[in-house]
Amino acid sequence: MNVPVLDLKRQYESIRGELDAKVLEVVGGGKYVLGPYVKEFEDAAAEYCGCKHAIGVASGTDALLLSLKALDIGPGDAVILPSFTFFATAGVVHNVGATPVFCDIDPATFNLDPAHLREILSAGPTGSTNSTSPTNLRYRAVIPVHLYGQMADMEEILGIAREYELAVVEDAAQAIGATYSRPLNEPHEPNEPHEPKKAGTLGDLGCFSFYPTKNLGAYGDGGMVTTNDDALAEAVRMLRVHGAKPKYYHHRVGVNSRLDAIQAAILGVKLRHLDDWSAARRHVADRYDDALSSVDRVAAPARIDGRSHIFHQYTVRIENGRRDMVRDSLTAAGIGTMIYYPVPLHLQECFAYLGYKEGELPASERACGDVLSLPIFPELREEEQSAVVDAIRAAA
């Protein structure tokens, strides 16, 4: 049986009527960039996430870029981020003229390790614990990435960020709808219930991607910035239209990063289904957990108390150098898989100028050799999942 790692056509078929009607409405309306459909989606997204502002932009990468520009981060500044993540998280730091400083990960969650974050910061203004890195950098921000759909340890990260006066930019590209119980160091009344908060609302800014493969995916590129800070929201809104307000009056040098009306309308339809799709993904993950619990040398994803997982990916660890062999066997059996990610960012050729060496971030490097993402999407059929599990049992 052939099992795709993802099948977006099935999702479309389930909501074809709603989507087709909305797209035709936009096409007939004649307003295709920003405008009322984008505003409608931004308002719905802000309500869904539980924040004051949601600003639609052209991609998740631009969401990160505009967030750093809104914070006036640039040359001479250092931004700390995990080495085990998608390239854009570091690429935007470089592209605003700042220096990426790579942090190791928690081996259980694959997210930024707060202990190593503190170690980097306590070493002083060197840009990293690496002796070859520049010595004149100012730490300005940290970007925790909520990888695979489960949030990083925001309680610890926020506490460290406050201590060192760092901005916090959440890379929530893979985590829309994931929740985190209120950090215990946030002021609140005694006995007040700790209402969970959603990804992208705990830091100064949150960044989302609507790339088609995301849990909330457009039919093209798209992204969003969330914030509760009025001034930062205003800055992002200006920066996405070349820094202009009103049109042709430019206060800052921005970029062209506008969310298309058709994509916003599609996302607005899909947003109404997102919680149901997330529940379906968790159901698939539950079945994987049960089925793989008896398979030696295959470690299921960790689920941390107080953090809901939306399972953008169901990523297992296959240790002792067996991952590639298992993947080849699954491929031969018609099972789709992906490796997110095969090379840590600190060892990428384009960042060689930073001077990192193999062995400096061992948890990130080990993850790159172990991780394997299995098919997971709301419409995955039980018999397809059984075929995946049988193939893993035969290979592992």
pLDDT above 70 for 83:
yes
pLDDT, residue 137, reads 87
176 and 274 in contact (C-beta within 8 Å)? Answer: yes
- Residue ranges of the domains in the chain? 8-271, 274-395
Mean pLDDT over 273-293 rounds to 97
Higher pLDDT, 325 or 181: 325
In this structure, of 24-38, 183-197, 251-265, the range with the lowest mean pLDDT score is: 183-197
Domain 274-395 has CATH 1.10.238.10: no
Q: Looking at the DSSP assignment, which residues form a beta bridge with residue 241?
A: 256
Q: Which pLDDT tens digit goes with each residue over 86-140?
A: 999 999 999 999 999 999 999 999 999 999 999 999 987 644 445 444 557 899 9
pLDDT above 90 for 396:
no
What's the start-to-end Cα distance of the chain, in Å? 19
**Hey, is 364 helix, strand or coil?**
helix
> C-alpha angle with apex 270: 311 to 50, nearest 5 degrees?
70
Cis preceding-peptide flag for 246 (omega within 30 of 0): yes
In this structure, of 292-301, 361-370, 373-382, the range with the lowest mean pLDDT score is: 292-301
pLDDT, residue 330, reads 97
What is the percent of the chain with per-residue pLDDT over 70, rounded to a whole number? Answer: 94
pLDDT, residue 193, reads 58
Global confidence as pTM: 0.94
Domain 8-271 has CATH 3.90.650.10: no
Q: How far is C-alpha 121 from the geometric centre of its chain's CA atoms?
A: 23
Distance CA 88, CA 209 (A): 11
> C-alpha angle with apex 131: 129 to 132, nearest 5 degrees?
120
Given pLDDT bands bounded at 50, 70 and 90, which one contains residue 186? low
Cis preceding-peptide flag for 249 (omega within 30 of 0): no
Which residues, at least 6 apart from 255, have a Cβ–Cβ distance to it below 8 Å? 62, 65, 66, 239, 240, 242
pLDDT, residue 183, reads 60
46 and 39 in contact (C-beta within 8 Å)? Answer: no
Q: Which pLDDT tens digit goes with each residue over 189-234?
A: 555 556 899 999 999 999 999 999 999 999 999 999 999 999 999 9
pLDDT, residue 128, reads 44
What is the percent of the chain with per-residue pLDDT over 90, rounded to a whole number? Answer: 89
Distance CA 332, CA 327 (A): 9
pLDDT above 80 for 265:
yes
